[in-house]
Amino acid sequence: MSLQELESAVSQLPADELNAFARWFEEYLADAWDRRIEEDIKAGRLDEAGRRADADFEAGRCKPL
């Protein structure tokens, strides 16, 4: 299925099915984001950012949320 076909199909959904699709798609995107972050962590791509965050915290350059 092409993107154009998918867009056409989604645009023709009744409101209740569109809402269900939107909820599913939000969860799908969130899961994909989680998988990417996990892959980045395992690959060490976030190590330097973590070290900088730790250094900023230790140096008192962080504010409470």
pTM over 0.85: no
Q: What's residue 14's pLDDT?
A: 98
Q: What's residue 65's pLDDT?
A: 87
d(CA 14, CA 20): 10
Task: Say if 65 falls within a structural domain.
Answer: no
Task: Say if 54 falls within a structural domain.
Answer: yes
Task: Say if 7 falls within a structural domain.
Answer: yes
pLDDT averaged over consecutive 10-residue blocks of the chain (65 residues)? Answer: 97 98 98 98 96 96 90
Residue 42 belongs to domain spanning: 3-58
Q: Is 14 left (phi over 0), alpha (psi -120 to 50) or beta?
A: beta
Number of domains in the chain: 1
Task: Say if 26 falls within a structural domain.
Answer: yes
- Cβ 62 vs Cβ 56: under 8 Å: yes
